[in-house]
Amino acid sequence: MLQFILECIGFQLLFLIIYDVFLRRETFFQWNRFYLLGTFLFSVALPWIKIELFKTTISKPFAGYQEYLWNSAMNETSLSAGNENSYAFSWDQIFIMSGMLIALLIFAFKLYQIHQIKISGTVRYLNDFTRIIIKNSEIAFSFFKSIFIGDKIISQNHKAIIEHELVHIRQGHSYDLIFFELMRIVAWFNPLVYVYQNRISEVHEYIADAEVAKTHKKEQYQLLLTQVFKTQHISFINPFFKSSLIKKRIVMLQKSKSKKALALKYLLVVPAFLAILFYTSCESDTKVSEENDPLQSVTEEKRIIIEFEDLKNLSTKEKIKRDRLLNNFDNLEKNSILVLKDNKGNSVEFKANNSKAENSMVLNLVEKEMQKFSEEDIIEVYEQKINVSNDGQDIPFSQVENPPIFPGCEDAADKRTCFQEKMFKHISKNFRYPLEAQEKGIQGKVNLMFTIAADGSIQNIRKRGPSESLEAEGERIIAKLPKMTPGKQKGKAVNVPYSIPITFKLQ
C-alpha cells in the first residue's frame, strides 16, 4: 500500500510539473480542465497497469528448507476470505483512518455552512438556477444549481456576475470540486490533491470569464473584477470574487488566444505516460540487486561443489547425502556457495548468508525431489539432522516423549490432539485475508515452520508461500501464539520444531 501511495504521488507530481511549466499559461482552458481531471485519475490507475511488452520477471529466491520439515506435524489448515472473525488494525491504518475521519468532519462542516447561508437568505427558484439573496452581504458564488449573491451588489452590475456563475452551473464545475474534496478525505495526507483542486478551481474561473467576455465589453468586465468584495472561503464552491485569483483572471482576459500550434504541448504527456508504464511494468515483487547476487563478491575458493550421477534421478542414498548437506547448510561460512551438480549439465546453487539458504537460480529441483521422499527416508534424514547439527536438542513434535502443552490442554488425555485443536482455533480466530492478496486474486498454500523453544516461547518462524503478503499473514498469526509449556525428552526441556501449512482460498 505504501508503495502504491508513493507511486501515485510521484506520478501526480510529474503531471503537475508538466502542467505548470508548459500548459498553465495557455488559453486552452477546457483542455486544461480535462488534463487535470484525466491525469489525476490516471495517476491512481497507472500503478495497476502492467504492459507485457515491458514486463521483466525475476524469480523469487527459493529457501532450502526440506519439504518433510514443513509438513511433519499436522493436517493442512484451509481458510478463505470469509473466515475472518476479527480485524486488528495496525497503527498506520488507525492514523490514516483518523485523518480521514477529521477530513470528513471538515467536509460536513462546510456543507453545514452553505446550508446556513441558504436558510438565512431569500430563495427564488428560476428556470435555470436557484437564486439566494443574502442580506447585508457582498458575497457571490455558485454551488451546483444555486447562485448565492449579496443584496449590496444586487443593484450593481450583477448581470455579469449571474452570467459568470451560470457558466459554472452549465458546465458542472461543482462536480469537479466535489470530486477533489472527496479525494481530500480519502488521501488527506497527499498535498498534491490540494494543488490539483486549486489548479482546477483556477481553470473554472478562466473558463467562465472567457464566456462572459464574449457578450460583455472586456474593459467593463475587468473593472468589475478590480473591485473589492467579500467571499466565502469554502474549497468546493465557485466564488466570483476571490482576491487571490482576481489578478490572474485579469491577466488572462487581456491575453490573446494561444495559437493552435501550441496545443501540441499536450503531446508532452505521451512520453510521460510511456515512461510511467515502463516503470510500472518492469517492477518485480522480488528485486535482486547486484550486491545481493550470490555470484558476486564470492570467490571460487569459497565454493563447495558436490557431484552426483544424475540430480533428476537420485538414489535414496544420494538423497540422504544431499539433505544432510542442506540440513547443515546454516553452519557453512557466511557467503559460501554450495553447488550440487551432475555430469549431465544439471546444477543447483545455494548461498549461505546470515543463516538463511537462498537459491541463486531459477531451478527448484531440490523442492521437487523432496516431494518424492518416503516416510522411512524422512525419519532417517531427520534423525541424522538431530545427531549431526543440533546435538540432540531439537526433537520433532511427532517424536518428542512429552509434547509441548498448549495453554488449556494441561488436563487433556491426548495432549498432541488437544495441541492441534487449539492450534486450529488460534489460526481461525486470528486469521484475516490480506487485502492486497484479495485485490490481486492471490491464493495458495503457505508453509510455516517454527520452534517451540525449551523455555516455551515461539522462535525461529520461517515461511514459504505464493506471495509475501500471504507469508506475512501466516507469520503474524504464528507470532501471536501464547507461551507454551515446553516439550521434554528424557525429563529435559528441549526445542520442538513444528510445522503447519495454511491454505488461503478466495471465495
Closest CA to 390 of 499, 495, 320, 319: 495
Least confident range of 153-167, 224-238, 242-256, 285-299:
285-299
Around 320, how many Cα atoms within 13 Å sit in the side-chain half-sphere? Answer: 16
Q: Which pLDDT band holds residue 378 (cuts at 50, 70, 90)?
A: very low
The predicted structure's pLDDT at residue 499: 85
More confident of the two residues 254 and 271? 271
DSSP string computed for 11-41: HHHHHHHHIIIIITTSS-HHHHHHHHHHHHH
Query: Could you give the CA distance from residue 124 to residue 114 in angstroms, rounded to a whole number?
Result: 16
Does residue 314 carry a pLDDT above 80? no
Strands 488-489 and 496-505: unpaired
* Mean pLDDT, residues 195-223 taken together: 83
What pLDDT digit, counting tens, does each position of 334-358 carry?
556 667 777 777 777 666 553 333 4
More confident of the two residues 395 and 99? 99
Domain with CATH 3.30.2420.10 in the chain: 74-82+395-505
- Burial of residue 242, with CB atoms counted within 10 A of its CB: 0-12 exposed, 13-18 middle, 19 or more buried: buried
Interacting residues of 477 by C-beta distance below 8 A, sequence separation 6+: 426, 427, 430, 431, 502
More confident of the two residues 92 and 383? 92
Cβ proximity of 123 and 130 under 8 Å:
yes
Cell reading at 405? 502443552
Pick the CATH number of 74-82+395-505 from 3.30.750.200, 3.30.2420.10, 3.40.50.300, 2.60.40.10: 3.30.2420.10
Query: Could you give the CA distance from residue 411 to residue 364 in angstroms, rounded to a whole number?
Result: 45
Query: Could you give the CA distance from residue 72 to residue 378 in angstroms, rounded to a whole number?
Result: 9
How far from the centroid of its chain's Cα atoms is residue 74's Cα? 33
Percent of the chain with pLDDT over 70: 68
Q: Which pLDDT band holds residue 329 (cuts at 50, 70, 90)?
A: low
Sheet strand arrangement including 347-353: 303-308, 337-342, 347-353, 356-359
Does residue 376 carry a pLDDT above 90? no
Does residue 372 carry a pLDDT above 50? no
3-state secondary structure of 67: helix
